[in-house]
Chain A
């Protein structure tokens, strides 16, 4: 069966520090992969998606970047965090043609 792993679960980082969040998927090949950010009262915001290795599409201009170095690995990064980067970050992979998305457990990022 397919599983998705996301880590760390929580992270407290100072303003101006770098960020690296990792997401890996097991049990499937060539998945579509997604990064969402969830802010209180604002629902889920799609940040990046990837349909294959090295292929990244950005939905919202921001202080973040994403990379997909391997088929089942998706990384969210920042060179210098801002206070506004605080939030709950969710990685997801897609089932057959938009019929379902599977989410990781999320990372609670607090920038101080």
Chain B
């Protein structure tokens, strides 16, 4: 069994300030790790993912996340946020080679960027 914990349900941050959204997971096997973003009344979009290799992964819009195996964490960071980053962010895990029916999501963190 696996589980995902997103420690903060809501994170307000001022525009151009840095932000970190925290994600911890537990699993008895190795996992793939994902961050999805959801804008209001829309579906989820993949933001970035860790499958293997470099533990630091980046998205095209300036977010990055680092896989830390010893701390079982996959925190999402951005050095300077924009108003357009306001959305809900979901961390998820999935065992390698499994179908997404084993994809486990956290409860989400709502990021609010304040002008």
Contact = CB atoms under 8 A, between A and B. Distances in A.
A97 B101 contact: no
Contact of A34 (B34, B96, B98, B101): B101
Nearest to B91: A43
B68 interface: no
Contact of A43 (B49, B90, B94, B99): B90
A94 B107 contact: no
What band does the interface of chain A fall in when counting residues whose beta carbon is under 8 Å from B? 20 to 34
Interface in B68-115: 90, 94-103, 105-108
Best-surrounded residue of B42, B45, B95, B100 (most CB of chain A within 10 A): B100
Contacts of A110: none
Interface in A61-112: 90, 92, 94, 97-106, 108
B62 to A, nearest CB: 20
Given A98-B94, A99-B51, A90 B44 contact: yes
B59 interface: no
Contacts of A94: 99-100
B41 interface: yes
Contact of B41 (A43, A51, A106): A106
Given A98-B32, A103-B45, A104-B43, A43 B106 contact: yes
B105 A98 contact: no
Interface of B: 9, 32, 34, 36, 41-46, 49, 51, 90, 94-103, 105-108
Interface of A: 6, 9, 32, 34, 41-44, 46, 49, 51, 57, 59, 90, 92, 94, 97-106, 108
